[in-house]
Every structure is written in C-alpha cells, then in structure tokens.
Amino acid sequence: MDKMMRKAQETGKQAAQKLKALPEQTKQAVKDLPDKSKALAQKTVKAATQMQRRTRLKLIVAVVAFVLVILIAGGIIGGRHLWYAKKNRAGLEPFGSEDITRSSAVPYIKTTLNDNGLNGEVVSYLEQDPYLVNIYEGYGFAKDYGSARGHNYTLEDVHKTLRPHALANCLTCKSADFTRLVNEEGVGVYTRDFEEVYQSLNLGISCYTCHGEEDPTREGNNLTVTHSYITKGLGENMSAIDPAILACGQCHIEYYFTPENKETMIPYSSVETMTPEAILAYYNEIGFSDWVQPSTGAQMLKAQHPEMETVMQGKHAGMLSCADCHMPIEQSYDGAIYHSHTLVSPLKNETLLASCAKCHEDTDMVNMVEGIQRRVTARETQVGNALSAFKDALASAVEKGETDEDTLSSARTLYREAQWFFDYCYVENSEGAHNSDLAFHCLDVAEQKINEGMAILSNEMTDDNI
Ligand code: HEC
Ligand code: HEC
Ligand code: HEC
Ligand code: HEC
C-alpha cells in the first residue's frame, strides 16, 4: 500500500515539475514559431511549386500525347483533311492534278468512297413544300419525295421508297451490278421484275460505275461511261463533255423510260439540246408523258435531276468539272495524293473553298452561294404555290364540265408545260448554285404559262357569265 502511495506521490511530483516547465517550453515554442512557420511556409510553397511543375508537366505531356493520338489516328482515318487543311492555311497552292499518285492512293480512295455513307439525312420535300402534293397528284412523287443522301444509300432508298416500282428500270442509277447486267444481257433487263432483280444485286455505286473494267490506276483518263443510254443518246457528241462531268452525268441527268420497251434513255443528243425548251419539244414530238393526272386530265411530265444539263449550260462550263467542285484533292499521311471520292458540298470543304479563290479571289463563297439559293428558293415557293392554284382552277373547270374542250385542252397544255419548267428548276439539286440564270429563267417561264392559263380559264368563266 505504502509502495503504491509513494509511487503516486512520485508521479504527482514529476507531473507538477512538468507542469511548471510547460510555460517555459510554450514561450520557447512561441518564440520559435515565426522561424518554424516560415520554414513550413517555405516548405509548403516549395512543395506546391514542385507539385505545380509536375502537374504542369503532366498536363503538357497529356496534351502533347492527345494531339499526337489525334494526329496519328487522324492520319490513318481522316488525316488527309488535317494535312491538307494545314497546307491551305499556310497559303500554299493546293495540289494540282499533275501531283496525283495513282496506285498508292487506291486504299484511300476506297475509304473515301465508303465515307459517302456519312451523309444519311433526308429532308422530306413534301413536308417542306406542301404544294408539291397537289402538283404531283396521281404520281408516286406525291406519296414520297425526299432530298438526296450519300451514294451508299442508293439501293436501300430505292427499295424502301413509297413510290411504286414494278420494273427493274428503277435500278438504273442505283447499282453497279445492275449496270453490268444491262451491259451483259441487254436492255431486256429493264423490264424484268423489280424485286427479283433487286434481290440479286450486291453492289451500290462502285468503282465499276465510273471506271468500268479499266484499271483505275492507269495513267491518263481512266474514266469509262458504263451506262449505255449515254453512249447511245449522245454518240459522237460525248467527246464535247469532260469525262469528269460525264462520269456523274451517267445519273445526275434528266432521263425517261421509252414507251415501247421501258428502256432508260436520255431525251437529247448533244450539249446544245440539253435545254428545258429542247427537251420539252422532244417530249412533245414523241407524245411522251410520265403520267396522266386524274383531276385535270393533263399529260404530265416529271423532271428528274438535270445537274449535268444545268452545269453544261452554266457559267463554269468548259472550265470546271463536277469533280473539281465536289471531289477535293487530298493527301494521305504517307504522301499519296488523290481525288477524295466522298462527294461533298464545296461550301463544307476547306480545300474546295480555297480552290474557288483562284477565280473568285476574296469573295465570301458561302455567302454568295447561299444568297443565290435563298433567292431561288423564295421564287420557287412563289411559283409553286401559283402552279398549285392553277391546277385547282383547272381541276375545278374539268369537274364543273362547263368549259369548252378547246379551252380545257389549251389550259392542260399550259399546265403540263408550266409544271415542266417549274420542276426542271425545283428538282435540280443545287438550288440555283450551278446555274442561277437558268433557275430564274425556268421559274419565269413557268409563271408566264400559269398566268396565261389562269387568264384563259377566267376569260372562259367571264364569257359564260356574260
Ligand atoms: C461516281 C464515280 C466514281 C466512282 C464510283 C469511283 N471513281 Fe475513281 N474517279 C472518279 C473521278 C471523277 C475521278 C477524277 C478523274 C479526273 O478528274 O481526271 C476519279 C479518279 C480516280 C483515280 C485516279 C487518281 C485520282 O484520284 O484522280 C483512281 C486511282 C480512282 N479514281 C480509283 C477508284 C476506285 C478504286 C474506285 C472504287 C473503290 C473508284 N475510283 C470509284 C469517279 C469515280
Ligand atoms: C450510278 C449513278 C450515279 C452516279 C454515276 C453518280 N451519282 Fe451522285 N447520286 C446518285 C443517286 C441515286 C443519289 C441519291 C442517293 C440517295 O438519296 O439514296 C446521288 C446523290 C448525290 C449527291 C447528294 C448526296 C450528298 O451527300 O449530298 C451528290 C453531291 C452527288 N450524288 C454527286 C455526284 C458526283 C459529283 C458524281 C460524279 C463524280 C456522282 N454523284 C455520280 C447516283 C449517282
Ligand atoms: C463551280 C462548282 C460546281 C460544279 C462545277 C458543280 N457543282 Fe454541284 N454544287 C455546287 C454548289 C456550290 C452546290 C450547292 C452546295 C450546297 O448547297 O451546300 C452544289 C450542289 C450539288 C448537288 C446537291 C448536293 C446536296 O447535298 O444537296 C449535287 C447532287 C451536285 N451539286 C452535283 C453536281 C454534278 C453532277 C456536277 C457536274 C455535272 C456538279 N455538281 C458540278 C458547285 C458545283
Ligand atoms: C476557273 C475559274 C473559276 C473557278 C475556279 C470557280 N469559278 Fe465560280 N465562276 C467563275 C466565273 C467566270 C463565273 C461567272 C461570273 C459572272 O458571271 O459574274 C462564276 C460564277 C459562279 C457562281 C454564280 C453562278 C450563277 O449561275 O449564278 C457561283 C455560285 C460560283 N461561281 C461558285 C463557285 C464555287 C463554289 C467555286 C469553287 C468550288 C468556283 N465557283 C470556282 C469562274 C470560276
């Protein structure tokens, strides 16, 4: 017990001494504080700086690595764009066709051809411009009519369209296999059953379409017209057209199916006869119509997509080909130089836009082209609605049965022709960019015919009233 007490006393004394020493120690500690905290602050700053340096270094390394990855991956997947854009920004002349490398470019050409699938959007023209449903009454286009998508979708789109397609001739512009079939078995293929032929096709638009059996890497002009109606229709006059226009013109044209054997054919035989006037005269001469409209009884025409015709009559004719404005010349990361086979709008491609400057100098091309398109589209809406009103007036006259046959017949002809000129502008895919004069001309002619038609119908009504 005593032992314990003594131990406790001892501990108590020690504690008391410690307690006495505490203020001294605290004082000393407080005295030391500035130095220590200074050191601590210095240490902290040093550590922070080191950390910052390390972080900054890490950040720099990360950014560099990221850019490298993008460059390398870009080089493989789409680096052509990066390299090429860089060249343009540096203000260097883009590559010329003399720089084209052929065989080494083929893998890139295949990739770029496949990239036509990137444009998969469709705008419904029928929703955008409801007057079309009225104008196209009685024809497939009143049921389904949308904007064009990339080449990869040709087979899918022709199959799923709500427009009726009984015969295989609808496959004319959709598949290299079909073109080959026509070339091997003759024009009888056009009248075979759509579905049966469709099921036998594998390829959409492919190398064969524009290069035929030729080795596309051959020097010189390596393009081949494989669509026989072009060779048949134009004959010798084909030589007046740049092959890089004809390649696209195999499909981007006005065509019709011959009444005798439903063969796909073009309605002209030379560059001079590629005008809406000459084509209409030809259709009138052979008594051709695409459909007879139920409510008006008019023998109607449906224009297709006369891009080659408008370009050949336009301001760039003899200067630029379709490829010059839609197929930028690019360079791959390993140096191959070639035409990209992804068909793009020149407004959405830096390389193509830069190439316009050769002649258009510092014009803002996007603004200039979109300005034309806005004016053309506004005028289309105006004339389209007028055409729709004319159609209603004609249909109503037909229904009432009080108008004499001669007047009805003249009004029907005017309606057929007004619709032809309107359509020739509306269905051309560039909205005036290829040839604004021709676009406005077509709409003016359409309007004039609408006014004439309305006048004879209303004269007739006034005559009746008197
Ligand atoms: C829609 C038509 C079209 C298709 C399809 C097409 N090409 Fe081309 N090709 C062209 C045009 C146009 C040119 C440019 C010719 C010119 O301006 O001289 C071209 C040029 C070329 C060249 C020459 C090098 C160059 O870039 O100018 C090669 C090689 C080539 N194509 C290979 C191919 C291969 C391989 C395929 C299939 C994977 C293919 N092409 C599919 C139209 C086409
Ligand atoms: C074998 C027929 C055929 C040939 C040849 C052809 N095209 Fe096309 N093109 C089409 C069809 C069909 C469409 C619409 C595809 C769809 O909507 O399913 C189209 C769509 C387009 C489009 C719109 C798609 C988009 O991405 O904006 C452009 C641009 C185009 N073609 C340019 C060209 C150019 C330039 C050439 C020549 C190098 C060419 N085409 C050759 C049939 C052809
Ligand atoms: C001077 C350059 C130029 C030439 C030559 C040219 N085009 Fe165009 N093309 C354009 C412009 C500009 C547009 C409008 C692009 C836009 O609206 O973004 C266009 C639009 C088109 C479109 C509609 C594209 C879409 O996405 O809706 C098609 C199809 C087309 N061109 C095909 C052709 C064909 C086929 C040829 C040759 C017969 C040709 N072009 C020649 C400049 C040109
Ligand atoms: C080789 C020279 C040349 C090049 C390159 C060129 N153009 Fe043109 N372009 C012309 C000429 C000449 C005119 C007519 C000018 C005029 O009548 O005032 C013109 C007119 C136009 C017009 C008005 C057409 C019309 O019918 O109203 C458009 C749009 C156009 N160019 C677009 C382009 C685009 C886009 C490019 C580049 C992809 C381009 N051009 C490249 C020479 C060229």
Q: What is the DSSP string of 408-440?
A: HHHHHHHHHHHHHHHHHHHTSTTTTSS-HHHHH
The answer, yes or no, to whether residue 460 has pLDDT greater than 80, is no
Alpha helix (H) residue ranges in 186-285: 194-199, 207-211, 228-234, 243-249, 276-285
**How far apart are the CA of 361 and the centre of ligand 4, in A?**
11
pTM of the model: 0.84
Q: What is the pLDDT of residue 143?
A: 85
Q: What is the mean pLDDT of residues 184-212?
A: 90
- 315 or 61, higher pLDDT: 315
Q: What is the mean pLDDT of residues 359-366?
A: 94
Question: Residue 292 gets which letter from DSSP?
Answer: E
Look-up: residue for tokens 């007879």? 292
Residue 19 CA to chain centroid, in angstroms? 89
3-class DSSP state of 193: strand
273-305 in b/e burial notation, b at 16+ Cβ within 10 A?
A: bbbbebbbebbbeeeebbbebeebebbbbbbbb
The answer, yes or no, to whether residue 133 has pLDDT greater than 90, is yes
Bridge partners (DSSP) of residue 264 are 257
Q: Could you tell me which residues come within 8 angstroms of residue 31 by beta carbon, excluding any fewer than 6 positions away?
A: none
3-class DSSP state of 299: strand
What amino acid is encoded at 210 in this protein? Answer: C
3-class DSSP state of 445: helix
Look-up: residue for tokens 């002619």? 445
| Structure-block tokens of residue 131 | 């007057």
First and final C-alpha spacing in the chain: 145
Q: What is the pLDDT of residue 398?
A: 96
Query: In whole angstroms, what is the distance from residue 204 CA to residue 207 CA?
Result: 10
Over residues 254-298, the pLDDT tens digits come to 999 999 989 999 999 999 999 999 999 999 999 999 999 999 999
Over residues 199-257, the pLDDT tens digits come to 988 889 999 999 998 788 877 778 999 999 999 999 999 999 999 999 999 999 999 99
CA-nearest residue for atom 2, ligand 4, is: 359
Over residues 48-78, the pLDDT tens digits come to 566 667 767 777 666 666 655 554 454 444 3
Q: What is the mean pLDDT of residues 7-15?
A: 59
**How far apart are the CA of 326 and the centre of ligand 3, in A?**
7
Instruction: Quickly state the pLDDT bin for 360 (edges 50, 70, 90).
Output: very high
Instruction: Quickly state the pLDDT bin for 315 (edges 50, 70, 90).
Output: very high
Length of the chain: 466
Q: What is the pLDDT of residue 88?
A: 37
Q: Which of 265, 264, 121, 113 shows the shortest CA–CA distance to 203?
A: 113
**What is the number of the ligand closest to the CA of 347?**
3
Cβ < 6 A, ligand 2 pocket: 119, 148-151, 153-154, 157, 173-174, 205, 209-210, 247-248, 250-252, 322-323, 326, 343
Query: In whole angstroms, what is the distance from residue 194 CA to residue 167 CA?
Result: 4
Over residues 370-424, the pLDDT tens digits come to 999 999 999 999 999 999 999 999 999 999 999 999 999 999 999 999 999 999 9
The answer, yes or no, to whether residue 85 has pLDDT greater than 60, is no
The atom number, within ligand 3, closest to the CA of 305 reads 29
Alpha helix (H) residue ranges in 78-98: 79-89
